[in-house]
Structure 1
Amino acid sequence: MEYIASEALINARASTVWEVITDAGNLTVWESGITAIDGELRNGGTIRIKTADAGGRTLRLRVQQMPGEVMTWTSRLPLGLLKRTRTFTLSLQAGLTHLTVKEEVSGPLAAFLGNTRPDTSQHLNEYVHAVTNRAELLDRAS
């Protein structure tokens, strides 16, 4: 199993950060890296997204949530050949909101992705930075 993660301490309420990462209607407006989304980010839902780094492909993802705490987006190939899970976790730390975004890739085909995967680490860091900026801006405005 291979994984990468990015995290930040955000000077905004956890509810504001949660609102930012679950507002499907606005994910394409700010610098989230998502260029198109169809579906709702709700527990048990399915979304279809396009990202700048996916080469025009649409990714179908299953959403699971513990509202205000954890959200996962999971995609998988049949027979367990490949499973990709992105987990968003919020916690309070010293009066700030700690956001961790972790992507795990597993299954027999994971080893073959190697250098063919886009620089997911950079994209994850850019996403977390954009969430931080948007949440802090929205929290100050309220």
Structure 2
Amino acid sequence: MKSFEAEAMIYARSSTVWDIITDAGNFTVWASGITRIDGQVRNGGTIRIRTRTGGNRTFRLRVRQIPGEVMTWTGGLPLSLFTGVRTFTLSPQGGKTHLRVREDFSGPLIGLIGRAVPDMGQDCTGYVNAVKERAELIG
């Protein structure tokens, strides 16, 4: 398995943070790292995204949510030969929100494909910092 993670304490309510990370219509407005998105970020939905680091590649991701608490975006190859899961976890803490974003890559082809996966640590950190900046500005 290959993993990347970032987290931050955000001085905004968890509902504000949740609204930001599920508002697909505005992902390209702020520094989310997403350059294009099709679909709605809702439980059971499918989104198609392009990212700064992914070039022209479109990622098809399945969305799962426990609203206000946790969300996952899952994609990869058939038969789970290679799977990528981005997990967003929100923990309210007295008017503030702890946001944790983790990217996990796994599957039998991780050794082969994993070498081609760029270092997502900087992307995760940039994303979390952008959410923090936006939430604190709005909230």
Normalised by the length of structure 1, the TM-score is 0.94
Shift in Å, 1:72: 0.3
User: The residue matched to 2:125 in structure 1 has which SS?
Assistant: helix
Measured in 2, the distance between the counterparts of 1:82 and 1:115 equals 12
| Structure 1 residues 56-79: Cα deviation after superposition (integer angstroms, max 9, x where no partner) | 100000000000000000002112
The percent identity for this pair of structures is: 60
| Equivalence for 2:125 | 125
Moved over 4 A (4+): none
Measured in 1, the distance between the counterparts of 2:41 and 2:126 equals 20
Query: After the TM superposition, which residues 44-83 of structure 1 pair with which residues of structure 2 at under 5 Å, given as runs?
Result: 44-83=44-83
Q: In the alignment, is residue 6 of structure 1 matched against residue 23 of structure 2? A: no
Length, aligned pairs only: 139
Report the residue type matching 1:44 in the other structure.
G
Measured in 2, the distance between the counterparts of 1:115 and 1:105 equals 11
Measured in 2, the distance between the counterparts of 1:111 and 1:63 equals 26
User: The residue matched to 1:20 in structure 2 has which SS?
Assistant: helix
Contact 2:20 2:131 in 1 (8 A): yes
| Equivalence for 1:22 | 22
Normalised by the length of structure 2, the TM-score is 0.96
Measured in 1, the distance between the counterparts of 2:74 and 2:60 equals 8
| Structure 1 residues 91-140: Cα deviation after superposition (integer angstroms, max 9, x where no partner) | 0235420000011111011122344222211011000000000000010x
| Equivalence for 1:36 | 36
